[in-house]
A = this chain, B = another copy of it.
Amino acid sequence: MMTDMKRGRGRPRRQGADEEILSVARELLRDRGYREFTVDAISERTGIAKTTVYRRFPSKGALVAAAIAPMHARTDTDDVTQVLRETACVLKLLSSPEGEAIDVIRAVVEPRRARVAELLKNDGSEDAELRADLLIGALLTRLLITRAPLDEEEAIVEAVLA
């Protein structure tokens, strides 16, 4: 607490503290994963008061997002596979993210994804599992990322199976 007060509010040191918090946050995510990640541990490892951490990053989610979202963001690459690989790399840091809404989504989607994969297999489709991931994934992207309407099932199926 004292270190926090000594540092003061508007001093240049603050930018450095932000960087230190984010760097330790990435380290902690690699060591422990998202579920075991706590602001307490950040405070312990950096010696920066929890109140200071929370003043800058109002929640665990905000801190994790700030730590990993911009990481390796190679907006200069023109290779889709590379962008996907980098995305996968960052998402891996969140290994098995949990939450009430995610549990509900999984309960809804898991049996339906399995049914899609089964239908594709019966149809003799190659890569039935992968194609099921794609088809179901388009819905998940719209639900969670773009919040676009979930209403283009024919177009989705055509893009993957045509």
> A59 contacts which of B92, B96, B100, B135 (Cβ < 8 Å)?
B100
Query: What is the interface residue range for chain A against chain B?
Result: 35 or more
Judge whether A41 is part of the interface by a CB distance below 8 angstroms: no
- With a cutoff of 8 Å between Cβ atoms, the chain B residues found around residue A150 in the complex are 88-89, 91-92
Task: Give the interface segment out of A2-10, A13-21, A137-145.
Answer: A137-145
Q: Is A44 an interface residue (CB 8 A)?
A: no
Known: A130-B152, A144-B102, A151-B88. A107 touches B69 (CB 8 A): yes
List residues of chain B with CB within 8 A of the CB of A64: 104
Pick the contact of A61: B75, B92, B104, B127 (CB < 8 A).
B104
| A55 at interface by CB-CB < 8 Å | no
Taking a contact as CB atoms under 8 Å apart, the answer to whether A115 and B75 are in contact is yes
Minimum-distance CB pairs A-B, first 10: A137-B137, A65-B107, A61-B100, A99-B99, A88-B150, A97-B101, A133-B141, A137-B141, A140-B140, A84-B153
**17 A-B pairs (CB sep. < 8 Å):** A59-B100, A61-B103, A65-B104, A75-B115, A83-B112, A84-B135, A87-B139, A88-B151, A92-B150, A94-B101, A106-B145, A113-B141, A127-B155, A134-B138, A134-B160, A136-B145, A137-B137
